[in-house]
Amino acid sequence: MISSGGTIALTGIFTLIIAYSLFGNRSKNKEKKILKVETKEKVSCSENIERIIFACDAGMGSSAMAASMLKSKLKDAGINAEVLSTAVSEIPQGAKLVISHEGLTPMARKIAKDAEHISIRDYFDDPAIDKLINRLKEGEKPTGRDQSDLNILKKENIKLNLASVTKNQAIKMAGELLVQSGYVDSDYIDAMYERESQLSTYIGKGVAIPHGIGKSKESIKKSGIVFLQFPQGVMFGEDVAHILIGIAGAGNEHLSILSNLASALDEDEIVEILQSTKDVDEVYNILTTNES
């Protein structure tokens, strides 16, 4: 049973963020990726759920985007739950249901021993998320509150029409922008490389969200986001990224922009604009204008 103050922890890996219907046009090999559900004991959803936590290895990139998209899906379903993102190592006590990437599930199980665990292989196009939402709809609708909406994207950090480079060069470019803007210390760039070596930060739809690992939070001075556009693309393994969103997340301040990005990825026309526009204001408005 999930108590009135119960917490659902949805844990995941950064390559993710969020959007469960975003990637219907993924390649065949990605379409073969399915969600694998591993349960200890299904949690009853008959009582109020006040908070949902979506976590990953560091809690600032993929999980933040995933949390934003999940919140949108819950809202559409009439479930006004508070949705927060966190690192898998910081799953709060009392978590009753944990969703994690299969690479993080063992750690998640150790931290939340009494929780139901749903292990996924792909953060996007996730039927298990829809099943979870349907389960939640069967219970009472929780009451939540919105995250603060702070602007952490500067127009000077929106770089368009960049020449194609290697993946590491692109990550370095994003990291250097974060450093120059006073968001992070210079060693954060190494943490971005380390994160990428662990698991690709490519999330689909031509977008990658490079960021540091969990322990790199000590190098973050304040939350910040930078936007790099590569019309000719940057290879992330077998995938081609046209947009890099460099992230430094000290708190939850960056969630609003990631939420807007997640919503934008749901519209192919907007994705095309973000990948090809030469108008900084156009990108800025798409990523910073909140939906009503």
Q: Which of 56, 101, 117, 254 is catalytic?
A: 56
The answer to whether 50 touches 6, Cβ cutoff 8 Å, is yes
Asked if CATH classification 3.30.540.10 holds for the domain at 7-137, the reply, yes or no, is no
Asked whether the whole model's pTM tops 0.75, one would answer no
The answer to whether 262 touches 245, Cβ cutoff 8 Å, is no
**CATH architecture of the domain with range 153-288:** 3-Layer(aba) Sandwich (3.40)
3-state SS, residue 233: strand
User: Phi-psi region for residue 250, left (φ > 0), alpha (ψ -120 to 50) or beta?
Assistant: alpha
Q: In what order do the strands lie in the sheet with 82-87?
A: 82-87, 51-56, 7-11, 95-101, 116-120
3-state SS, residue 203: strand
45 is catalytic: no
101 is catalytic: no
Q: Where are the beta strands (DSSP E) in the chain?
A: 7-11, 51-56, 82-87, 95-101, 116-120, 153-159, 202-204, 207-208, 224-236, 239-248
What is the residue extent of each domain of the chain? 7-137, 153-288
3-state SS, residue 38: coil
The answer to whether 152 touches 223, Cβ cutoff 8 Å, is yes
Q: Which of 45, 101, 117, 211 is catalytic?
A: 211
Distances (CA, A) of 288 to 150, 168, 274: 9, 27, 13
pLDDT in tens, the chain (292 residues): 444 344 333 333 333 333 333 333 333 333 333 233 333 445 444 345 567 777 677 655 666 677 777 777 878 888 777 776 777 888 788 777 777 776 776 787 778 776 777 776 666 566 777 777 887 777 643 333 233 334 588 999 999 999 999 999 999 999 999 999 999 999 999 999 999 999 899 988 999 999 998 788 889 998 889 999 999 999 999 999 999 999 988 766 667 777 777 877 888 888 999 999 999 999 988 888 654 3
Tell me whether domains 7-137 and 153-288 share a fold.
Answer: no
